[in-house]
Amino acid sequence: MATFLDAVLAFLFKYRPALFAQGRLAWRPPVAPEWIALALLLAAALVVFTYARAGRARPRDRMLLATLRLGILALVGFALLRPTLLLSTVVPQQNYLGILIDDSRSMRIADADGRARGEQAAAAFSDPSSALARALAESFQLRYFRFADRARRADPAEAHGFDGAATRVAPALEAVRAELGSLPLSGLLLVSDGADNAAAGLSETLLSLRAAGIPVFTVGVGAERFQRDIELSRVGVPRSALRGSALVVDLMIAQNGYAGREVPVQVEDGGRLIAAETVKLPRDGEPSAVRVHFTLEEPGARRLRFRIPPQDGELIAENNQQEAVILVRGAREKILYFEGEPRWELKYLRRAVAQDSSLQVVALQRTADNKFLRLDVDSAGELYGGFPQTREELFAYRALVLGSVEASFFTHDQLQMIADFVAERGGGLLLLGGRAAFAEGGYAGTPVAEVLPVTLGNSRDTTFFAELEVRPTRAGLAHAALRVADSAPDTERRWATLPPLTTVNRVGRVKPGATTLLNGSGEGVSQPVLAFHRYGRGLALALAVQDTWLWQMHADMPLEDQTHERLWRQLLRWLVSDVPERVVASTAADHAAPGEPVHITAVVADERYLRVNDGRVVAEVTTPLGESLEVPLDWSLTSDGEYRGSFTPAEPGLHEIRVHAAREDVEHASAPTYVQVSESSAEFYGAQRRTPLLKRIAEETGGRYYDASALGTLHEDLAHTGRGVTIQEERELWDMPIVLVLALVMLAGEWVYRRRRALA
């Protein structure tokens, strides 16, 4: 549409609007303008005099006819003044033009009128037989560059590789500007699909180009929308997980041309297929999240690949997969379960997780004042004095389950310590319902109440009791911890048939930011049964029923039913899943390309989980070939306990990074993280032509954007940028067709009007 409008305007005004924008208007009258003005005035006076005389015509008719005549006179005057467009035109071969051709892998995509994008770009600009290339070469000194993640000078005859692993427009423009900045430069020509995958912003570069007066003309290649393609654009995988945990991973799928088709999503662990689910593809152009479920049984760093097999006629096969590295923890995670009284919950919870080799539930049960039963402790001294008195003792556990034990059992320091266990140590806390739990246990107003995801009332109602049907919310149905059957429909059916449980705790509202996973209703009561939120570094859960053991023992539960076991295993695994160690090592991404720096961050704390700023922290990097290098990490100065460093991997493969933290030369903790080094396939994701980005570059620098299939005016526009060595060119405008058209319109209008009004 815009092109059609441009063509019409170019016809009427003799030149394209772009030339008017580049030039300026001047008048070149053949005689002194005063004479022309005098002649026009006389003629105008004659017109006014003629039409002012009374005749048959009404005053309104006369006014209109006089105006039309005066209009024609004005057009004649305009033409007599000889309007002229002054254009700065480059002096041939005196100016330079930088041509940047995208050399990244996305240019291999064959969506440019049946050709690869790169081929189209090369044919237009690098091929000596191209008319455009020849024309440009006649006007300018051409300087060719190729760019992907950086720009380099290139001979136009040199064959394109189109093998850059990333597209970074801003540094490329900066580099070319630095190289050509001292020359008379007419502008830069950027030929690309605009599929920039740089993290850094472009604004500063554009601003400096604008300030330097260097216009960037952009040429977009490729399709803005693929006809047939499926893209697995994102995968949300935790960096670590417990061995045997049921993982739920969200995948983002976008597609065109396959709406409604059912395709398999496969999960591979080191090349071995571990899960496959069939998903229905979303509507064209609408990204949609799908979930896959799988379990990782082998400890260590696992390289996962999620993929959708390429479909018939798909444009890009490379974007059908995503890779991720996940650390599967094999050690037993210690959970302290403190129960204030003998309760069936303790027995059946312990039984539910007894077979789980990743969980160690240390039970501490108060049987009388200062008398405790300890189960599954590691040593005779563990919990000998009852509930931990010190942070070191409590923080050795990764999660804490509090049963029916009144708040007054604890000292204020212990209550604060429990809150700190979640907020600072990052542990998981699960508060179970019971006669001495929640508000009924006197927790209102204590530091523990702050941590909970639900509000507590102040009353301690010792008579409250309700039998509740427990059902998952939408969030609950989607949550991995509540997936009590193998498939989502089976899970929903199972929840619908579980026997009711009882509660003795009135639970208030769920706090802002917390999520309800289970609701209970019955006997006129409706309240959350399971809610959670993140609190500080940790996770807090409230399970406000007192007898989940009925899901094991109720007569309606078949002996072989595993709902109770599965639920508790998953709940406790969730509780410990993201609990930080004393050293938490991470990298900015779990993938890097060879030669690309890997930035390591480590957060270091002592035994009490207080951040350490004066430690000696070293990352020991083990390459895939088994070589080892030490990377010292320095305190970041900005954040307590945070240390940073980086290294540049050279070889592809999985690199293990083990961060060792020492104080006074004694190592007190270490933690691993992993980074997979491989050639990036980022170029094939989001690889559609990004016209808005290319337009923005052109508009903000004073250049123009062109579609690769419509480059007809490019040469002319480049010739009139006004930059570099130029001469002034004058182009007459008096003979613009618009002048003649307007004159004819007015004459015809007068004639028609007279006929209609019978004035002829």
At its nearest, how many Å lie between other proteins and the CB of residue 465? 4
Stretch that binds other proteins, among 93-101, 182-190, 219-227, 346-354 (CB under 8 A): 346-354
Task: Name the helix (H) or strand (E) containing 618.
Answer: strand 616-622
Q: Does 408 bind other proteins (CB under 8 A)?
A: no
Tell me how far, at minimum, the Cβ of 619 lies from other proteins, in Å: 43
Instruction: Please report whether residue 341 would count as binding other proteins according to CB under 8 A.
Output: yes
User: HEC states along 592-603?
Assistant: ECCCCCEEEEEE
User: What's the CA gap between 32 and 27, in Å, rounded?
Assistant: 11
Q: In 53-79, which positions are buried (b, 16+ CB within 10 angstroms) versus exposed (e)?
A: eeeebeeebbebbbebbbbbbebbbbb
**Binding to other proteins by residue 377, rule CB under 8 A?**
no
User: If 0-12 CB within 10 Å is exposed, 13-18 middle and 19+ buried, where does residue 575 land?
Assistant: buried
Evaluate whether 268 touches 294 at the Cβ level (below 8 Å): no
- Total site size for other proteins, rule CB under 8 A: 38
Amino acid at the residue 102? D
Selected binder of other proteins within 463, 474, 637, 665 (CB under 8 A): 463
Cβ proximity to other proteins: between 409 and 734 the closer is: 409
DSSP type of residue 342? -
Beta carbon of residue 552, minimum distance to other proteins (angstroms, whole number): 6
Secondary structure class of 141 (helix, strand, coil): strand
CB of 480 to other proteins, least distance (A): 26
Q: Radius of gyration over alpha carbons of the chain, in Å?
A: 38
Quote the distance between the C-alpha of residue 343 and its chain's center: 48
Cβ-contact 717, 140 below 8 angstroms: no
Answer for which of 136, 235, 292, 346 binds other proteins (CB under 8 A) is 346
Amino acid identity of residue 671, one-letter, is A
**Nearest CA among 287, 269, 267 for reference residue 278:** 267
Q: State yes or no: residue 464 binds other proteins (CB under 8 A).
A: yes
Nearest to 641 by CA among 623, 664, 658, 617: 617
CB 237 within 8 A of CB 324: yes
Residue 240, phi then psi, degrees to nearest 5: -145, 160
Q: Pick the piece of the chain touching other proteins (CB under 8 A) from 26-34, 72-80, 129-137, 463-471.
A: 463-471
Q: How near is the Cβ of 366 to other proteins at its closest, in Å?
A: 6
Q: Are 752 and 172 in contact (CB under 8 A)?
A: no
Q: Least distance (Å) from other proteins to the CB of residue 367? A: 6
Mark 507-536 with x for binding to other proteins (rule: CB under 8 A) and - for no binding. Answer: ----------------x-------------
For other proteins, which stretch binds (CB under 8 A), given 103-111, 347-355, 586-594, 661-669?
347-355
Which range in 28-36, 457-465, 711-719, 746-754 contacts other proteins by CB under 8 A?
Answer: 457-465
Residue 467 CB, nearest approach to other proteins (Å): 5
CB-based contacts of 387: which residues, under 8 Å, 6+ apart? 338, 364, 409, 410, 414
CA 360 to chain centre: 38
Contact (CB, 8 A) for 573 and 245:
yes
Under rule CB under 8 A, residue 155 binds other proteins? no
Interaction between residue 406 and other proteins (CB under 8 A) = no
Q: Does 380 bind other proteins (CB under 8 A)?
A: no
The helix/strand/coil state of 442 is coil
Beta carbon nearer to other proteins, 344 or 635: 344
Looking at the Cβ atoms of 511 and 554, the one nearer to other proteins is 554
Closest contact distance (angstroms) between CB of 460 and other proteins is 13
344 binds other proteins (CB under 8 A): yes
Stretch touching other proteins by CB under 8 A, among 299-307, 549-557, 572-580, 603-611:
549-557
Can residue 312 be called a binding residue for other proteins (CB under 8 A)? no
Structure tokens at 639: 């954040």
Q: SS3 for 94?
A: coil
Q: Which of 140, 147, 258, 348 binds other proteins (CB under 8 A)?
A: 348
Which of 115, 239, 291, 554 contacts other proteins by CB under 8 A?
554
152/146 Cα distance (integer angstroms): 6
Dihedral angle of Cα 156, 157, 163, 167, to the nearest 10 degrees: 0
From the list 123, 557, 593, 743, which residue makes contact with other proteins (rule: CB under 8 A)? 557
C-beta closer to other proteins: residue 217 or 549: 549
Binding to other proteins in span 104-133, by CB under 8 A: none
Query: Which span sits near other proteins by CB under 8 A: 237-245, 337-345, 660-668, 716-724?
Result: 337-345
Residue 351 touches other proteins, criterion: CB under 8 A: yes
> How many whole angstroms separate alpha carbon 17 and alpha carbon 26?
16
CB of 418 to other proteins, least distance (A): 20
Pick between residue 293 and residue 554 the one whose CB is nearest to other proteins. Answer: 554
For other proteins, the binding residue among 350, 608, 644, 731 (CB under 8 A) is 350
Residues sharing a CB contact under 8 Å with residue 675, sequence separation 6 or more, in sequence order: 325, 587, 589, 590, 591, 592, 598, 649, 654, 655, 657
Q: Give the one residue of 96, 532, 549, 674 binding other proteins; rule: CB under 8 A.
A: 549
Q: Does 65 bind other proteins (CB under 8 A)?
A: no
Which secondary-structure segment (H or E) carries 140? strand 140-147
Give the footprint of other proteins on this chain (CB under 8 A). 340-344, 346-348, 350-351, 354, 363, 365-369, 373, 375, 404, 435, 463-465, 467, 502, 504, 523, 546, 549-550, 552-557, 559
